[in-house]
Amino acid sequence: MNTLRLIVFLLAVANPFHSAALLAPGLLGSERGTRLRVVGIGAAVAAAVAIVLALVADDVLDALDVTSPTFRLGAGVVIAATGVRSALIAPKPWAEGLRGGRLSMLVPVAFPVLFTPELAVASVSYSADRGTGATVVAIAVALAVFAGLAVTGAGWSASAVATPDGSASPGARRADPWLGAAGRVMGALAVVLGIALVVDGIFDV
């Protein structure tokens, strides 16, 4: 139950729909294998960094000289603030350098699209509060969901807007509307979650 709940929390925080909407248009026209490689490696790198943070959560708190309830309070502020952004501001896709560029899986896929401030603080906070194992599983699931959405989302966008010769039309630079809408909903959920974390941080010992 703890792990399941954490997966839902991490899905809201990582917001794979928003991330997929940021990347899917840039992957238009590329081969499915290329998309899988770029997205998969990027998600793996982001997940690895987040998992490392989860593993050293207690050391992070010690280094910052804060207790876990206080960090939770700060994490809630970050998650709520970035959730507002996701809920209200339409994603502006990263279009450049995604079609097989050698480092595109690192920039912008792993950073800054996937490894975000909210994912970083959530990894530390949840690991400190709810256990490292469950947090690691939740991070992996959230970013796997992203990878699936980004690949299939790009496919949907491609089929919707591709020109007969297979290249992307100017309209393809928009995110798939379905991804964008779902990203906004998840952003709103992250706002609620962030506020709940702030309250929880205040009303903890």
Partner 1 sequence: MRRRLSLTCAAWVALAAVVRVGAVPAERCPTVDVAGLRSSAEAAAAWIEAAQADDGTYVYEYDRGTGEVIAGYNVVRHAGVTMSLYQYAAAGNDAILPAADRGLDWMLERLVRQRDFAAFAPPGEDAKLGASALLLAGLAYRRDATGDTLYDDLMREVGRFFLALQRDDGGFLAYWDPDVAAPVPELTSLYSTGEAFFGLAMLHNRFPGEGWDVATRRAAHYVATDRDEDEGQRLGPWADQWSAYALDEMKTWPLTDTDVAYARRLAARFGFYTRGEAQKRESWPQRHIRLEPARGAGFGTVVEGVTSLWRLAAVEPRLADLEAPLAERARCSAGITASRQLDATDAVRWPAADPALIDGAWYDGDRTRMDDQQHALSGLIRTEAVLTAVDAFAAGASSPVMEHS
- Which parts of this chain interact with partner 1 (CB under 8 A)? 64-67, 69-71, 73-74, 77-78, 81, 94, 96-97, 107-108, 112, 117, 202-205
Minimum CB separation of residue 66 from partner 1 in Å reads 5
Task: Name which of 106 and 144 has its Cβ closer to partner 1.
Answer: 106
Rounded CA-CA distance 88/99 in Å is 28
In the bound state with partner 1, the residue whose beta carbon lies nearer, of 97 and 148, is: 97
CA dist 202 and 196 (Å) reads: 10
Q: How near is the Cβ of 46 to partner 1 at its closest, in Å?
A: 14
Q: Which residues is 168 bridged to in the sheet?
A: 162
For 29, phi then psi, to 5°, come to 85, -10
Least Å from the CB of residue 112 to partner 1: 5
Strand partners, 162: 168
- Please provide residue 95's backbone torsions phi and psi, each rounded to the nearest 5 degrees: -95, -30
SS3 for 69? helix
Q: Is the Cβ–Cβ distance between 131 and 5 less than 8 Å?
A: no
Residue nearer to partner 1 on the CB measure, 73 or 143: 73
Minimum distance from residue 14 beta carbon to partner 1 (Å): 16
Nearer to partner 1, 22 or 141 (CB): 22
